[in-house]
Protein backbone atom coordinates (compact mmCIF):
# COMPACT_ATOMS: atom_id res chain seq x y z
CA UNK A 1 0.00 0.00 0.00
CA UNK A 2 2.87 2.33 0.86
CA UNK A 3 4.48 1.66 -2.54
CA UNK A 4 1.19 2.39 -4.32
CA UNK A 5 0.80 5.64 -2.39
CA UNK A 6 4.36 6.70 -3.18
CA UNK A 7 3.83 5.86 -6.85
CA UNK A 8 0.65 7.95 -6.91
CA UNK A 9 2.46 10.88 -5.30
CA UNK A 10 5.32 10.55 -7.77
CA UNK A 11 2.89 10.42 -10.70
CA UNK A 12 1.07 13.49 -9.43
CA UNK A 13 4.36 15.33 -8.99
CA UNK A 14 5.43 14.37 -12.50
CA UNK A 15 2.12 15.57 -13.91
CA UNK A 16 2.43 18.82 -11.99
CA UNK A 17 5.98 19.32 -13.26
CA UNK A 18 4.87 18.55 -16.82
CA UNK A 19 2.05 21.08 -16.60
CA UNK A 20 4.38 23.70 -15.11
CA UNK A 21 6.91 23.11 -17.87
CA UNK A 22 4.25 23.64 -20.50
CA UNK A 23 2.58 26.58 -18.78
CA UNK A 24 4.70 29.40 -20.11
CA UNK A 25 5.62 28.13 -23.57
CA UNK A 26 4.00 30.90 -25.60
CA UNK A 27 5.00 33.69 -23.23
CA UNK A 28 8.60 32.45 -23.29
CA UNK A 29 8.53 32.34 -27.08
CA UNK A 30 7.05 35.85 -27.36
CA UNK A 31 9.68 37.27 -24.99
CA UNK A 32 12.49 35.43 -26.77
CA UNK A 33 11.39 36.58 -30.24
CA UNK A 34 10.44 40.07 -29.07
CA UNK A 35 7.19 40.03 -31.04
CA UNK A 36 3.54 38.95 -30.72
CA UNK A 37 2.41 37.07 -33.84
CA UNK A 38 -1.23 37.94 -34.36
CA UNK A 39 -3.55 36.30 -36.89
CA UNK A 40 -5.96 38.83 -38.39
CA UNK A 41 -8.52 39.16 -41.16
CA UNK A 42 -7.24 39.78 -44.65
CA UNK A 43 -9.58 42.76 -45.06
CA UNK A 44 -12.17 43.71 -42.47
CA UNK A 45 -12.45 47.51 -42.14
CA UNK A 46 -12.95 48.47 -38.52
CA UNK A 47 -11.43 45.23 -37.23
CA UNK A 48 -8.27 44.54 -39.21
CA UNK A 49 -7.33 46.21 -42.45
CA UNK A 50 -4.04 47.26 -44.03
CA UNK A 51 -3.66 50.43 -46.10
CA UNK A 52 -1.50 50.86 -49.22
CA UNK A 53 1.57 51.38 -47.02
CA UNK A 54 0.91 48.18 -45.09
CA UNK A 55 -0.25 49.96 -41.92
CA UNK A 56 -2.78 47.88 -39.99
CA UNK A 57 -5.73 49.44 -38.18
CA UNK A 58 -8.85 48.13 -36.45
CA UNK A 59 -10.35 46.98 -33.16
CA UNK A 60 -8.65 43.56 -33.37
CA UNK A 61 -5.39 45.23 -34.40
CA UNK A 62 -5.54 47.45 -31.31
CA UNK A 63 -6.09 44.38 -29.15
CA UNK A 64 -2.93 42.80 -30.58
CA UNK A 65 -1.01 46.01 -29.90
CA UNK A 66 -2.35 46.14 -26.35
CA UNK A 67 -1.07 42.60 -25.84
CA UNK A 68 2.38 43.60 -27.09
CA UNK A 69 2.38 46.69 -24.85
CA UNK A 70 1.53 44.57 -21.81
CA UNK A 71 4.00 41.74 -22.47
CA UNK A 72 6.86 43.38 -24.35
CA UNK A 73 6.49 47.01 -23.28
CA UNK A 74 6.02 48.21 -26.85
CA UNK A 75 2.72 48.21 -28.75
CA UNK A 76 4.54 48.22 -32.10
CA UNK A 77 6.10 44.80 -31.55
CA UNK A 78 3.41 42.89 -33.41
CA UNK A 79 3.65 40.81 -36.55
CA UNK A 80 0.28 40.71 -38.31
CA UNK A 81 -0.47 37.54 -40.27
CA UNK A 82 -3.50 37.89 -42.59
CA UNK A 83 -5.55 34.68 -42.64
CA UNK A 84 -8.62 33.54 -44.54
CA UNK A 85 -11.49 31.94 -42.63
CA UNK A 86 -10.49 28.35 -43.55
CA UNK A 87 -6.86 29.02 -42.55
CA UNK A 88 -7.31 30.68 -39.19
CA UNK A 89 -7.74 27.78 -36.76
CA UNK A 90 -5.20 25.60 -38.56
CA UNK A 91 -2.65 28.39 -38.20
CA UNK A 92 -3.45 28.68 -34.50
CA UNK A 93 -3.21 24.94 -33.90
CA UNK A 94 0.09 24.72 -35.79
CA UNK A 95 1.67 27.46 -33.68
CA UNK A 96 2.10 29.80 -36.65
CA UNK A 97 0.43 32.57 -34.63
CA UNK A 98 0.36 33.34 -30.90
CA UNK A 99 -3.17 34.71 -30.84
CA UNK A 100 -6.07 34.75 -33.30
CA UNK A 101 -7.78 38.17 -33.35
CA UNK A 102 -9.82 37.90 -36.51
CA UNK A 103 -13.41 39.01 -35.75
CA UNK A 104 -14.18 35.36 -35.03
CA UNK A 105 -17.43 34.11 -33.50
CA UNK A 106 -17.16 32.28 -30.19
CA UNK A 107 -19.39 29.20 -30.34
CA UNK A 108 -19.48 25.71 -28.85
CA UNK A 109 -18.06 23.89 -31.88
CA UNK A 110 -15.03 26.15 -32.14
CA UNK A 111 -14.47 26.27 -28.39
CA UNK A 112 -14.69 22.52 -27.91
CA UNK A 113 -13.29 20.89 -31.05
CA UNK A 114 -10.66 23.08 -32.69
CA UNK A 115 -7.98 23.15 -30.01
CA UNK A 116 -8.70 26.82 -29.31
CA UNK A 117 -10.00 28.65 -26.28
CA UNK A 118 -11.65 32.07 -26.50
CA UNK A 119 -10.41 34.71 -24.07
CA UNK A 120 -13.56 36.86 -24.12
CA UNK A 121 -15.86 38.93 -26.33
CA UNK A 122 -14.45 42.06 -27.92
CA UNK A 123 -17.52 42.86 -30.04
CA UNK A 124 -21.13 41.64 -29.87
CA UNK A 125 -22.39 41.22 -33.42
CA UNK A 126 -25.08 39.42 -35.40
CA UNK A 127 -25.53 38.17 -38.95
CA UNK A 128 -27.43 40.23 -41.48
CA UNK A 129 -27.93 40.84 -45.19
CA UNK A 130 -26.71 43.51 -47.62
CA UNK A 131 -28.66 44.10 -50.83
CA UNK A 132 -28.67 46.62 -53.68
CA UNK A 133 -31.44 49.19 -53.32
CA UNK A 134 -32.52 48.47 -56.89
CA UNK A 135 -33.51 44.95 -55.80
CA UNK A 136 -36.45 46.59 -54.01
CA UNK A 137 -36.19 44.32 -50.96
CA UNK A 138 -37.00 45.65 -47.49
CA UNK A 139 -36.89 42.46 -45.41
CA UNK A 140 -35.05 39.14 -45.30
CA UNK A 141 -38.45 37.47 -45.61
CA UNK A 142 -38.54 38.67 -49.23
CA UNK A 143 -35.36 36.76 -50.15
CA UNK A 144 -36.94 33.41 -51.00
CA UNK A 145 -35.08 32.02 -54.02
CA UNK A 146 -32.29 34.62 -53.84
CA UNK A 147 -28.67 34.04 -54.82
CA UNK A 148 -26.53 34.75 -51.76
CA UNK A 149 -22.77 35.32 -51.50
CA UNK A 150 -21.29 33.77 -48.36
CA UNK A 151 -17.76 33.01 -47.21
CA UNK A 152 -16.72 29.43 -46.54
CA UNK A 153 -15.39 28.47 -43.11
CA UNK A 154 -17.46 31.13 -41.37
CA UNK A 155 -20.38 30.81 -38.97
CA UNK A 156 -22.42 32.73 -41.55
CA UNK A 157 -22.56 29.66 -43.79
CA UNK A 158 -24.50 27.36 -41.40
CA UNK A 159 -26.49 30.24 -39.90
CA UNK A 160 -28.01 31.31 -43.21
CA UNK A 161 -28.81 27.66 -43.99
CA UNK A 162 -30.52 27.25 -40.60
CA UNK A 163 -32.50 30.46 -41.00
CA UNK A 164 -33.82 29.69 -44.48
CA UNK A 165 -34.66 26.10 -43.55
CA UNK A 166 -36.55 27.15 -40.40
CA UNK A 167 -38.52 29.71 -42.42
CA UNK A 168 -39.32 27.31 -45.29
CA UNK A 169 -37.38 29.45 -47.75
CA UNK A 170 -34.89 28.49 -50.44
CA UNK A 171 -31.73 30.18 -51.67
CA UNK A 172 -28.68 29.49 -53.79
CA UNK A 173 -25.35 29.88 -52.02
CA UNK A 174 -22.35 31.22 -53.94
CA UNK A 175 -19.36 30.38 -51.75
CA UNK A 176 -15.87 31.93 -51.70
CA UNK A 177 -12.77 31.33 -49.56
CA UNK A 178 -11.81 34.90 -48.75
CA UNK A 179 -13.47 38.10 -47.62
CA UNK A 180 -12.19 40.00 -50.66
CA UNK A 181 -13.51 37.40 -53.11
CA UNK A 182 -16.92 37.27 -51.42
CA UNK A 183 -17.32 41.04 -51.29
CA UNK A 184 -16.00 41.46 -54.83
CA UNK A 185 -18.45 38.93 -56.21
CA UNK A 186 -21.39 40.65 -54.54
CA UNK A 187 -20.37 44.15 -55.62
CA UNK A 188 -19.84 42.96 -59.21
CA UNK A 189 -23.36 41.51 -59.30
CA UNK A 190 -22.58 37.78 -59.21
CA UNK A 191 -25.17 37.38 -56.47
CA UNK A 192 -28.15 39.38 -55.26
CA UNK A 193 -27.37 39.31 -51.54
CA UNK A 194 -24.30 39.30 -49.30
CA UNK A 195 -24.58 37.78 -45.83
CA UNK A 196 -22.12 38.03 -42.94
CA UNK A 197 -21.85 39.85 -39.61
CA UNK A 198 -23.52 43.27 -39.54
CA UNK A 199 -20.20 45.02 -38.87
CA UNK A 200 -18.64 43.32 -41.91
CA UNK A 201 -21.59 44.39 -44.05
CA UNK A 202 -20.99 48.00 -43.01
CA UNK A 203 -17.35 47.61 -44.06
CA UNK A 204 -18.24 45.99 -47.36
CA UNK A 205 -20.63 48.80 -48.25
CA UNK A 206 -17.81 51.36 -47.91
CA UNK A 207 -15.95 49.57 -50.74
CA UNK A 208 -18.75 50.15 -53.26
CA UNK A 209 -18.35 52.89 -55.85
CA UNK A 210 -21.51 54.42 -54.38
CA UNK A 211 -22.24 53.07 -50.87
CA UNK A 212 -25.70 54.67 -50.91
CA UNK A 213 -26.73 52.17 -53.62
CA UNK A 214 -26.82 49.43 -50.96
CA UNK A 215 -28.84 48.86 -47.80
CA UNK A 216 -28.45 46.54 -44.83
CA UNK A 217 -31.74 44.80 -44.11
CA UNK A 218 -33.08 45.32 -40.56
CA UNK A 219 -33.20 41.68 -39.43
CA UNK A 220 -30.38 40.15 -37.38
CA UNK A 221 -30.61 36.36 -37.61
CA UNK A 222 -27.95 35.19 -35.16
CA UNK A 223 -25.78 35.96 -32.14
CA UNK A 224 -22.14 36.49 -33.10
CA UNK A 225 -19.95 37.23 -30.07
CA UNK A 226 -16.57 38.02 -31.63
CA UNK A 227 -13.38 37.53 -29.70
CA UNK A 228 -9.70 36.58 -29.69
CA UNK A 229 -8.62 33.00 -29.10
CA UNK A 230 -5.43 31.14 -28.21
CA UNK A 231 -4.26 27.54 -28.37
CA UNK A 232 -5.66 25.32 -25.67
CA UNK A 233 -3.18 24.07 -23.07
CA UNK A 234 -1.14 27.14 -22.16
CA UNK A 235 -2.99 28.58 -19.19
CA UNK A 236 -0.46 31.33 -18.49
CA UNK A 237 -0.76 32.79 -22.00
CA UNK A 238 -4.53 32.38 -21.93
CA UNK A 239 -4.77 34.38 -18.68
CA UNK A 240 -2.59 37.18 -20.06
CA UNK A 241 -4.65 37.44 -23.24
CA UNK A 242 -7.90 37.41 -21.27
CA UNK A 243 -6.84 40.14 -18.84
CA UNK A 244 -5.45 42.40 -21.56
CA UNK A 245 -8.97 42.47 -23.02
CA UNK A 246 -10.50 43.04 -19.58
CA UNK A 247 -8.07 45.89 -18.88
CA UNK A 248 -9.07 47.65 -22.13
CA UNK A 249 -12.74 47.45 -21.16
CA UNK A 250 -12.29 48.38 -17.49
CA UNK A 251 -10.08 51.35 -18.32
CA UNK A 252 -12.97 52.85 -20.26
CA UNK A 253 -15.38 52.16 -17.42
CA UNK A 254 -13.19 54.20 -15.05
CA UNK A 255 -12.62 56.98 -17.57
CA UNK A 256 -8.90 56.30 -17.97
CA UNK A 257 -7.80 57.46 -21.41
CA UNK A 258 -4.61 57.68 -23.40
CA UNK A 259 -4.58 61.42 -22.73
CA UNK A 260 -5.23 61.43 -18.98
CA UNK A 261 -3.58 58.19 -17.81
CA UNK A 262 -0.39 59.89 -16.57
CA UNK A 263 -2.36 62.43 -14.53
CA UNK A 264 -4.62 59.69 -13.18
CA UNK A 265 -1.57 57.69 -12.16
CA UNK A 266 -0.27 60.63 -10.15
CA UNK A 267 -3.49 61.71 -8.47
CA UNK A 268 -6.11 58.95 -8.23
CA UNK A 269 -6.95 57.61 -4.77
CA UNK A 270 -9.38 54.96 -6.09
CA UNK A 271 -7.80 51.53 -5.41
CA UNK A 272 -9.46 50.04 -8.53
CA UNK A 273 -8.01 52.78 -10.70
CA UNK A 274 -4.62 52.58 -9.01
CA UNK A 275 -4.35 48.89 -9.86
CA UNK A 276 -5.04 49.66 -13.53
CA UNK A 277 -2.52 52.48 -13.81
CA UNK A 278 0.24 50.82 -11.82
CA UNK A 279 0.25 53.11 -8.80
CA UNK A 280 -1.43 50.66 -6.44
CA UNK A 281 -1.37 46.94 -5.75
CA UNK A 282 0.83 44.99 -8.17
CA UNK A 283 -1.50 42.82 -10.27
CA UNK A 284 1.07 42.08 -12.95
CA UNK A 285 2.96 39.58 -10.83
CA UNK A 286 -0.07 37.27 -10.91
CA UNK A 287 0.24 37.14 -14.71
CA UNK A 288 4.02 36.92 -14.92
CA UNK A 289 4.15 40.57 -15.99
CA UNK A 290 5.39 43.77 -14.38
CA UNK A 291 3.36 46.29 -12.41
CA UNK A 292 2.83 48.70 -15.34
CA UNK A 293 1.39 46.16 -17.80
CA UNK A 294 -2.09 47.72 -17.89
CA UNK A 295 -0.80 51.29 -17.65
CA UNK A 296 1.13 50.69 -20.88
CA UNK A 297 -1.98 49.35 -22.59
CA UNK A 298 -3.85 52.61 -22.03
CA UNK A 299 -0.84 54.85 -22.58
CA UNK A 300 0.20 53.27 -25.88
CA UNK A 301 -3.12 52.07 -27.32
CA UNK A 302 -5.99 53.70 -25.40
CA UNK A 303 -9.06 52.13 -23.79
CA UNK A 304 -11.78 50.07 -25.47
CA UNK A 305 -14.00 53.07 -26.16
CA UNK A 306 -11.19 55.03 -27.79
CA UNK A 307 -10.45 52.10 -30.08
CA UNK A 308 -14.14 51.66 -30.94
CA UNK A 309 -14.62 55.32 -31.81
CA UNK A 310 -11.61 55.59 -34.11
CA UNK A 311 -12.24 52.29 -35.89
CA UNK A 312 -15.99 51.67 -35.89
CA UNK A 313 -17.78 54.69 -34.47
CA UNK A 314 -20.09 57.31 -35.99
CA UNK A 315 -17.20 59.43 -37.28
CA UNK A 316 -15.73 56.55 -39.31
CA UNK A 317 -16.90 55.28 -42.72
CA UNK A 318 -18.59 52.34 -40.96
CA UNK A 319 -20.57 54.72 -38.70
CA UNK A 320 -21.58 52.00 -36.23
CA UNK A 321 -23.34 52.98 -33.00
CA UNK A 322 -22.08 51.56 -29.71
CA UNK A 323 -25.41 49.79 -29.14
CA UNK A 324 -24.99 46.67 -27.02
CA UNK A 325 -21.23 47.21 -27.18
CA UNK A 326 -21.55 50.16 -24.84
CA UNK A 327 -20.48 49.88 -21.20
CA UNK A 328 -22.92 48.16 -18.85
CA UNK A 329 -23.16 51.48 -16.99
CA UNK A 330 -24.45 53.15 -20.17
CA UNK A 331 -27.12 50.71 -21.30
CA UNK A 332 -24.89 48.19 -23.11
CA UNK A 333 -23.70 44.72 -22.12
CA UNK A 334 -19.93 45.38 -22.19
CA UNK A 335 -18.76 44.19 -18.78
CA UNK A 336 -15.30 43.15 -17.66
CA UNK A 337 -14.44 41.23 -14.49
CA UNK A 338 -12.58 43.59 -12.15
CA UNK A 339 -8.80 43.88 -12.26
CA UNK A 340 -8.28 43.26 -8.56
Q: What is the pLDDT of residue 24?
A: 79
List, as one string, the DSSP characters of 50-88.
Answer: E-TT--EESHHHHHHHHHHHHHHS-TT-EEEEEE-HHHH
How many CB atoms neighbour CB 5 within 10 A? 9
> Is 315 part of any domain?
yes
Is residue 85's pLDDT more than 80?
yes
Q: What is the pLDDT of residue 292?
A: 98
Q: What is the pLDDT of residue 10?
A: 43
Final residue in a domain of this structure, among 224, 241, 263 = 224
Is residue 6's pLDDT more than 80?
no
> Is 145 part of any domain?
yes
Q: What is the pLDDT of residue 301?
A: 98
Domain around 113: 25-124+226-255+302-325
> Is 239 part of any domain?
yes
**Residues 116, 243 within the same domain:** yes
- C-alpha–C-alpha distance, residues 329 and 125, integer Å: 19
> Is 114 part of any domain?
yes
Is residue 20's pLDDT more than 80?
no
Contact between 43 and 15 (Cβ < 8 Å): no
Is residue 21's pLDDT more than 80?
no
**Residues 169, 194 within the same domain:** yes
> Is 154 part of any domain?
yes
Interval 261-303: pLDDT, tens: 999 999 999 999 999 999 999 999 999 999 999 999 999 999 9
**Residues 232, 312 within the same domain:** yes
Is residue 25's pLDDT more than 60?
yes
Q: What is the pLDDT of residue 7?
A: 44
**Residues 158, 241 within the same domain:** no
Final residue in a domain of this structure, among 224, 240, 273 = 224
**Residues 101, 234 within the same domain:** yes
Q: What is the pLDDT of residue 5?
A: 41
Contact between 127 and 195 (Cβ < 8 Å): yes
- C-alpha–C-alpha distance, residues 189 and 187, integer Å: 5
> Is 45 part of any domain?
yes
Is residue 15's pLDDT more than 50?
no
Is residue 45's pLDDT more than 50?
yes
Beta-bridged to residue 226, according to DSSP, are: 105, 123
Please give the average per-residue pLDDT across 131-149, as a whole number.
97
Spatial CA neighbour of 243 closest among 287, 279, 282, 278 = 287
Residue 143 belongs to a domain with what CATH number? 3.40.190.10
* 235 membership: H or E segment, kind and range: helix 235-253
Is residue 2's pLDDT more than 60?
no
Is residue 32's pLDDT more than 80?
yes
Please give the average per-residue pLDDT across 62-84, as a whole number.
97
> Is 286 part of any domain?
no
Spatial CA neighbour of 320 closest among 58, 80, 141 = 58
**Residues 172, 193 within the same domain:** yes
Distances (CA, A) of 229 to 111, 221, 238: 9, 24, 8
> Is 284 part of any domain?
no
Secondary structure of residue 237 in the 3-state scheme: helix
Is residue 8's pLDDT more than 60?
no
**Residues 32, 83 within the same domain:** yes
Please give the average per-residue pLDDT across 195-206, as a whole number.
93
- Categorize the per-residue pLDDT at 73 as very low, low, confident or very high, splitting at 50, 70 and 90: very high
How many domains are there within the chain? Answer: 2
- Categorize the per-residue pLDDT at 43 as very low, low, confident or very high, splitting at 50, 70 and 90: confident
Please, which residues have CB within 8 angstroms of residue 257's CB and are 6 or more apart in sequence?
251, 298, 302, 303, 306
Please give the average per-residue pLDDT across 160-188, as a whole number.
95
Contact between 48 and 85 (Cβ < 8 Å): no
Is residue 34's pLDDT more than 70?
yes
- Categorize the per-residue pLDDT at 17 as very low, low, confident or very high, splitting at 50, 70 and 90: very low
**Residues 204, 319 within the same domain:** no
- Categorize the per-residue pLDDT at 42 as very low, low, confident or very high, splitting at 50, 70 and 90: confident
- C-alpha–C-alpha distance, residues 130 and 156, integer Å: 13
Distances (CA, A) of 41 to 1, 104, 143, 335: 57, 9, 28, 25
Question: Mean pLDDT in the chain?
Answer: 92
Specify the pTM: 0.88
Interval 201-230: pLDDT, tens: 999 999 899 999 999 999 999 999 999 999
Final residue in a domain of this structure, among 205, 224, 243 = 224
**Residues 72, 202 within the same domain:** no
- Categorize the per-residue pLDDT at 151 as very low, low, confident or very high, splitting at 50, 70 and 90: very high
**Residues 202, 57 within the same domain:** no
**Residues 30, 118 within the same domain:** yes
**Residues 91, 210 within the same domain:** no
Pick from 39-43, 243-247, 297-301, 329-333: least confident: 39-43
Amino acid sequence: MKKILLSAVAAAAALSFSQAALAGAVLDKVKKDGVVVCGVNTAAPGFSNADSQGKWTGLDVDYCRALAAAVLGDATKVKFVPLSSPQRFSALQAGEIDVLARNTTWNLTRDASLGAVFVGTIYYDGQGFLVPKKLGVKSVNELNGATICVQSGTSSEPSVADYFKSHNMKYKAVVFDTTEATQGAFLSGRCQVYTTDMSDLAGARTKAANPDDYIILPEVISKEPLGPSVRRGDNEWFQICRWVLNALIEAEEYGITQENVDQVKKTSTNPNVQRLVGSGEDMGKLLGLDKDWSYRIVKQVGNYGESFEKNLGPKTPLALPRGVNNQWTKGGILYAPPVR
